[in-house]
Amino acid sequence: MTWMQKGLGLIGLGVCLIALFVAGLFLYIGATATPLHTDPQKVPSVMHVAPPQKWTVAVEQARQIVKNGAAGQNLPGVSVAVGVGGEIVWTEGFGWANLESRVPVTPDMQFRIGTASQAVTSAAVGVLLEKGRLSLDDEIQAYVPEFPKKEWPVTLRQLMAHLAGVRNDAGGEEAVQAEGDEKSVQCQRPVDGVKRFAERKLLFEPGTRYRSSSYGWILVSAAVEAAAEESFSTFIRKQIFEPLGMNNTAPVAPPEPSPERAVFYFPRFSADPKYGPDEGREVDYSCFAGSAAFASTPSDLVRFLMAINSGKLLQPETVQLLQAEQRTVAGEGTGYGLGWHLETVTLAGEGTHVIGHDGELMGGMVASFLTLPNGVVVAVTSNIGFADTASIAVKVAEAFAQQGKGPVPK
């Protein structure tokens, strides 16, 4: 046997040992993980207001869906709200907001919604479009001169459509927060967050590729503040949250723990809640502004969607503009509007077009909300990263869609 054959043999043995170690680690972590909810039927829940009688069948189906989802995914807590015909018909909290003290999730408890904040910021852009203070095809420097011109022009529309080539905070590209103690980093204005990535080159020519960028929406937030001529937080509170009665939504949630907000957890292994939670760090997300910094409740998110659907907040033409699918310069559809996810899902056996947004925090999903063509609106939040809130929201929507197609129970 030559030295090369021996070397290759040793390399192969090393690879096998590493593979065995990784497989053993997965097995060990899985075997030692304690389920948070051993029985779906025993997942605790809190409901403040009983649903209307005509929706009790759908609610009971949806309650079981959420309990199965919480137990099956090993989620500490979940909160859900559903609106039909312009009215909130069901809100309920499931599981624990704080595992250590066993504080239950209540319907009015806040959750961080991560990048789902972008749909709310999109509505703020809509308000300014209707006031004639913004133009989607203006270069972003018209509103945010602190962002230097790049090799190619970058427009507000491209930023909102994730077509601008701006970097992201995931994948090791770079972080908005400074190295070290992230809790100490705070931005008083969105433009303070922009400065942390402003000098970086674009990843590609704007319009040629779809690539999600939370940094792009920090720029959008800075443009909103500039066009509104008042602070971003003040504008969005006065123009959206207060008029819609979103009393449990914070424009930029503070990093300090709050009894009104569920404790955030992070999977302790493999970005999967089934392996159990670790308590997440309380990070100051102020630098992300309208990109990912909001905290809200499912009820408030449903109020927001119903206002969008009814024309209470924006004119129908503006909503249509913001929710129209964007395309690359090559004509490829992106499945995304200007701050809105667009997709087709199977509900009650039929392909159904839904509009909404999922929210990611620290790389994993924490919130989802969607609206159906028939006016059913669903919002789901969880207090652990990498929760599949989207599948829970779709299944809950299906329960209400199925009842809506059949005779209404008396």
User: Which pLDDT score is estimated for 78?
Assistant: 98
pLDDT category at 253 given cuts 50, 70, 90 is confident
**Lowest pLDDT segment from 65-69, 153-157, 174-178, 232-236:** 174-178
Model confidence at 126: pLDDT above 90: yes
User: Which pLDDT score is estimated for 11?
Assistant: 58
pTM: 0.90
In the numeric block, the tokens 């602070």 are attached to 231
In the numeric block, the tokens 């809130």 are attached to 389
pLDDT over 90 percentage in the chain: 78
Mean pLDDT along residues 297-305: 98
- Cα 137 to Cα 133: distance, rounded to the nearest angstrom: 12
> Would you say how long the chain is, in residues?
410
Characterize 210-232 residue by residue with b for buried, 16 or more Cβ atoms within 10 angstroms of its Cβ, and e for exposed. Answer: bbebbbbbbbbbbbbbbbbeeeb
pLDDT in tens, 377-397: 999 999 999 999 999 999 999
Model confidence at 50: pLDDT above 50: yes
User: Which pLDDT score is estimated for 279?
Assistant: 83
- Cα 128 to Cα 287: distance, rounded to the nearest angstrom: 22
Model confidence at 86: pLDDT above 70: yes
Decide: helix, strand or coil at residue 354.
strand
pLDDT in tens, 323-348: 999 999 999 999 999 999 999 998 87
For residue 289, what are its two tokens? 């502004």
**Lowest pLDDT segment from 59-68, 261-270, 320-329:** 261-270
CB atoms within 10 A of CB 8: 11
- Cα 398 to Cα 351: distance, rounded to the nearest angstrom: 11
User: Which pLDDT score is estimated for 350?
Assistant: 84
User: Which pLDDT score is estimated for 23?
Assistant: 43
pLDDT category at 6 given cuts 50, 70, 90 is low
Model confidence at 204: pLDDT above 60: yes
- Beta strands 295-296 and 277-279, pairing class: unpaired
- Beta strands 350-361 and 341-347, pairing class: antiparallel
pLDDT over 70 percentage in the chain: 87
Model confidence at 174: pLDDT above 90: no
Provide the mean pLDDT of the chain: 89
Mean pLDDT along residues 115-131: 98
When computed from its CA atoms, the radius of gyration of the chain, rounded to whole angstroms, is 23
- Cα 292 to Cα 119: distance, rounded to the nearest angstrom: 10
Mean pLDDT along residues 334-363: 93
Model confidence at 278: pLDDT above 60: yes
Is 150:207 a contact under the CB 8 Å cutoff? no
Model confidence at 184: pLDDT above 70: no
Model confidence at 123: pLDDT above 70: yes
Q: Phi-psi region for residue 398, left (φ > 0), alpha (ψ -120 to 50) or beta? A: alpha
**Lowest pLDDT segment from 17-26, 81-90, 273-282:** 17-26
- Cα 357 to Cα 169: distance, rounded to the nearest angstrom: 19
pLDDT category at 280 given cuts 50, 70, 90 is confident
Mean pLDDT along residues 109-119: 97
Dihedral, CA atoms, 6, 10, 11, 12, nearest 10 degrees? 100
| Residue 359, H or E segment | strand 350-361
